[in-house]
Amino acid sequence: MKKNAYSPSRRKFLGNAAAAAITPPFILRSLGSFGPGAQPGKRLRHASIGVGGMGAHDLQNFKSHPQVDIVAICDVDAGHLKSAAAVVPGARTYRDWRELLEKEKDNIDSVNVTVPDHNHFIIASHAIAAGKHVYCQKPLCHDVAEVRALTRAAVRAGVVTQLGTQVAATVGDRTGVQWLREGIVGKIKHAYLCSNRPGAVEAYRLVGPRPAKGETPPAELNWEIWTGTAPMRPYAPGIYHPTKWRAWQDFGTGWSGDIGCHIFDPVWKGLELKTPLSVTAEVQQSWRDSPARRGDTWPQSNHITWKFPPSERTDPGGLTVEWFDGEFYPPEEIRALYSVEKYPAESSILIGSEGALLIPHQGTPVLLPESKFKDHKRPDMQDQNHYHNFVNACLGGPGTESFFARSGPMTETVLLGTVAIRVPDTLLEWDAEHLKFPNHPEAEKYLRRSYRHGWDDIKV
Ligand SMILES: NC(=O)c1ccc[n+]([C@@H]2O[C@H](COP(=O)([O-])OP(=O)(O)OC[C@H]3O[C@@H](n4cnc5c(N)ncnc54)[C@H](O)[C@@H]3O)[C@@H](O)[C@H]2O)c1
């Protein structure tokens, strides 16, 4: 860490009145409702869309709120739907989310969208158009332009929203955010984010190629609706549904898109970032050298760099944020600020003018050097439930922390990385207001997709 003149630490919290300042001017901010808590006696009528995988976890969390009625559930896989129906026996069941939104439009107040990334936008935007509050899994959408459109739609509709970064409600992440807002480690110059999760490559970061021939989808799976907005591919077992869709550009958003919102979240909130000036990416050589892999799958290793303009909480020269996954690790001298051996596989570390802050994902933040900060008191707080915070906001309680007007610009930033991955080693200057790369317009085609015929009723 470079030693420089320590500036006096700032202790300043973000109040609701100042919250508008956290959103880029091109996205109007919806402040939502701020009150003492969920109004007693009120109930939220909720529908869950996607109830297998993470959806099962989401369903349990919504169900566990004492003021929630799960009215309806939906899944394209009849087996997953059946398992979920056993958890919420009173809920009506659907295989097609369009039918759910139509038939239940007068019976539900909110939905959660927990399907693969390529269909987040179409489902969430229809729910918002129907006036429903929306909890949407991370990353908010598959593409940058989708995020922008969904964020604007949510703000216009004035609905309550929450991005599915549930760790944001834990003491760990909230402590990190608070310490950054208090400026304990001074002005931040550099942040290193990483996800070097062992086993992830084998589990669901497939290399490809697709099998030469597809198979008839199993009877319990509606492959047409599963595919939704994406190009129709012949069904093949074990490589798309469930979980492994992440590997493919059609459906997933790569390693950084998958985990990036989680790791970025406390950094984004703590520094109140708005939008980067530029992005560039380095990728693993074997993917770079393979036209087949570049056309279809995501790399198994990425290193992304964003530059941000200076702000109140950053170094006067601005902020650099780097992301590392797979075979790319934060530099050894940075990991050594904590411990190279024990460095958390998923974490962020922020280098400031007065020290450094390590925020392990799902762990306890550490101020560095530890000897300097050993007497620093941790904030007195309890874990919260991210899902319950959303429900409480829908029921007239305090606003959510991961509302789309804040988490949308963060997701756009994460997804800019997925654009840069496809044009590696190229600095892309970002004109956020106009969704353009002025110095490299060829890359703008990766900001949006064309939807498959029949799924293109909403233009992005
Ligand atoms: N917040 C987290 O920690 C976390 C963890 C895992 C996954 N996720 C996110 O949750 C989403 C789902 O991921 P997953 O790992 O559970 O995937 P998955 O493939 O394991 O499960 C997806 C579920 O949605 C169903 N489904 C797919 N398309 C559907 C559609 N169009 N309509 C209704 N149901 C549909 C599938 O049948 C399955 O039950 C992704 O966006 C992912 O990024 C978040």
Given this model, what pLDDT does residue 201 score?
82
How many A from CA of 142 to the centre of ligand 1?
Answer: 13
Q: What percent of the chain has pLDDT over 70?
A: 92
* Higher per-residue pLDDT: 48 or 28: 48
- Contact of 403 with 160, CB cutoff 8 Å: yes
Given this model, what pLDDT does residue 7 score?
23
Q: Scanning the structure block, which residue is given the tokens 């050894």?
A: 332
What is d(CA 290, CA 439) in angstroms, rounded to the nearest whole number?
A: 26
Residue with CA closest to ligand 1 atom 37: 77
Q: Which ligand 1 atom minimizes the distance to the CA of 166? A: 1
Q: Which ligand 1 atom minimizes the distance to the CA of 258? A: 43
How many A from CA of 278 to the centre of ligand 1?
Answer: 31
Given this model, what pLDDT does residue 338 score?
98
Given this model, what pLDDT does residue 39 score?
79
Q: Which ligand 1 atom minimizes the distance to the CA of 245? A: 19
The predicted model gives 96-113 an average pLDDT of 98
Residue with CA closest to ligand 1 atom 5: 54
Q: What percent of the chain has pLDDT over 90?
A: 88
- Contact of 388 with 217, CB cutoff 8 Å: no
| Intra-chain end-to-end CA distance of the chain, in Å | 43
Q: Which ligand 1 atom minimizes the distance to the CA of 165? A: 1
How many A from CA of 75 to the centre of ligand 1?
Answer: 10
pLDDT class of 428 with cuts at 50, 70, 90: very high
How many A from CA of 113 to the centre of ligand 1?
Answer: 8
The predicted model gives 98-119 an average pLDDT of 98
Q: Is 16-168 in CATH node 3.30.70.1070?
A: no
| Residues at CB less than 6 angstroms from ligand 1 | 49-55, 74-77, 80, 97, 114-117, 119, 137-138, 164, 166, 225-226, 228, 241-243, 258
The predicted model gives 275-281 an average pLDDT of 98
How many A from CA of 259 to the centre of ligand 1?
Answer: 14
Given this model, what pLDDT does residue 35 score?
33
pLDDT averaged over every residue in the chain: 92
How many A from CA of 69 to the centre of ligand 1?
Answer: 21
pLDDT for 304 beyond 50: yes
* Higher per-residue pLDDT: 211 or 354: 354
How many A from CA of 115 to the centre of ligand 1?
Answer: 4
pLDDT, tens only, 322-381: 999 999 999 999 999 999 999 999 999 999 999 999 999 999 999 999 999 999 999 999
Task: List Cα–Cα distances, 154 to 130, 148, 230, 403, 420, in angstroms.
Answer: 11, 10, 23, 9, 27
Enumerate the CATH 3.30.360.10 domain ranges in the chain, comma separated: 171-382+404-443
What is d(CA 95, CA 300) in angstroms, rounded to the nearest whole number?
A: 33
Of 114, 244, 259, the one to substitute when testing ligand 1's pocket (max ligand atoms within 8 A of C-beta) is: 114
Q: Which ligand 1 atom minimizes the distance to the CA of 49? A: 33
Residue with CA closest to ligand 1 atom 28: 226
Of 57, 87, 137, the one to substitute when testing ligand 1's pocket (max ligand atoms within 8 A of C-beta) is: 137
The predicted model gives 395-415 an average pLDDT of 98
Enumerate the CATH 3.40.50.720 domain ranges in the chain, comma separated: 16-168
pLDDT class of 22 with cuts at 50, 70, 90: low
pLDDT for 4 beyond 60: no
What is d(CA 260, CA 138) in angstroms, rounded to the nearest whole number?
A: 9
Residue with CA closest to ligand 1 atom 39: 52
Residue with CA closest to ligand 1 atom 7: 54
Given this model, what pLDDT does residue 13 score?
23
Contacts (Cβ under 8 Å, ≥6 apart) of 126: 97, 98, 101, 458
What is d(CA 293, CA 171) in angstroms, rounded to the nearest whole number?
A: 40
pLDDT, tens only, 196-209: 987 888 888 999 99
Given this model, what pLDDT does residue 212 score?
87
The predicted model gives 71-92 an average pLDDT of 98
Given this model, what pLDDT does residue 24 score?
77
pLDDT class of 19 with cuts at 50, 70, 90: very low
pLDDT, tens only, 252-271: 999 999 999 999 999 999 99
Q: Dihedral of the CA atoms 278, 282, 288, 293 (nearest 10)?
A: -80
* Higher per-residue pLDDT: 347 or 5: 347
Q: Which ligand 1 atom minimizes the distance to the CA of 221? A: 37
Given this model, what pLDDT does residue 26 score?
66
Residue with CA closest to ligand 1 atom 9: 137
pLDDT class of 27 with cuts at 50, 70, 90: low
Q: Which ligand 1 atom minimizes the distance to the CA of 80? A: 39
Q: For 171-382+404-443, CATH number?
A: 3.30.360.10
What is d(CA 79, CA 172) in angstroms, rounded to the nearest whole number?
A: 36
Residue with CA closest to ligand 1 atom 31: 226
Q: Is 32 left (phi over 0), alpha (psi -120 to 50) or beta?
A: left
Q: Dihedral of the CA atoms 432, 437, 438, 444 (nearest 10)?
A: -120
How many A from CA of 123 to the centre of ligand 1?
Answer: 13
How many A from CA of 114 to the centre of ligand 1?
Answer: 5
Q: Which ligand 1 atom minimizes the distance to the CA of 119? A: 31
Given this model, what pLDDT does residue 37 score?
66
Given this model, what pLDDT does residue 159 score?
98
Q: Which residues pair with 73 in a beta bridge?
A: 48, 93
The predicted model gives 149-168 an average pLDDT of 98
